[in-house]
Amino acid sequence: MAFVGRAARQPRGQARAVAGTAAPAAERAVSAQGVEVSPTSAPSLRPMREGDLDAVMAIEQRAYPFPWTRGIFRDCLKSGYPSWVMTEHGLVIGYGLLSIAADEAHVLNICVAPERQGRGLGRHLLRALVKIARDQRSQRVFLEVRPSNPGAIALYHSEGFNEIGRRPRYYPARDGREDALVMAIELVADDITTMPSL
């Protein structure tokens, strides 16, 4: 998660629909009568809107010891940063935000509601964000993560992100400040088959 001040960075384009963003069937939803609910109620992604911010803040405050403020989310929306919510049965259960400038993208926040973590949803969100970056012609994606967040680090490594540096004392922490690990992934062009033969 990026430590973002109130002044959001330069905007670049509104969020666009992501192809193939149906989330994994992380679990089968079963009604009180024991009937499986329709597959259409499986988690899906859609652009975040201002009206989502109560639900987003409720997750943010439970998921992070040092949560973003509502103002930071609002600034991201106003700036047109690609901002997505994952919903299930109409309820927000996670979200992810990116900034994209020139040919670089930055994962600003990725979060799954604590009670829904560990079921593949974070991986799905991360892949969707990387796809958005790729679709907007980004060549690499960066993110920051606390060294004290091994679950997130394992997710990023397993999706091909590598540690490229550290930002000393980047995050607030209970006993002062905590460094950020900076991780990045290079996005290889999909259209390699269109290259001229040698």
Ligand X SMILES: CC(C)(COP(=O)(O)OP(=O)(O)OC[C@H]1O[C@@H](n2cnc3c(N)ncnc32)[C@H](O)[C@@H]1OP(=O)(O)O)[C@@H](O)C(=O)NCCC(=O)NCCS
- What are the binding residues? 149
In angstroms, give the least distance from the CB of 96 to ligand X: 8
CB atoms within 10 A of CB 5: 10
In angstroms, give the least distance from the CB of 49 to ligand X: 20
Whichever of 59 and 77 has its CB closer to ligand X, that residue is 59
Q: With contact defined as beta carbons under 8 Å apart, do 94 and 129 qualify?
A: no
SS (H, E, C) 94-138: EEEEEEEECCEEEEEEEEECHHHCCCCHHHHHHHHHHHHHHHCCC
Annotated catalytic residue within 156, 159, 163, 186: 156
Question: Of these, 37, 158, 177, 188, which contacts ligand X (CB under 6 A)?
Answer: 158
- Catalytic site residue 36? no
Residues 6+ apart with CB under 8 A from 58: none
Q: Convert 98-107 to b/e letters by CB count within 10 Å (16 or more is b).
A: bbbeeeebbb
Annotated catalytic residue within 60, 81, 95, 144: 144
Of the listed pieces 77-85, 133-141, 151-159, 189-197, which binds ligand X according to CB under 6 A?
A: 151-159
- Catalytic site residue 178? no
Query: Contact residues for ligand X (CB under 6 A)?
Result: 1, 63-64, 110-112, 117-123, 145, 149-152, 154-155, 158
Active site residues: 144, 156
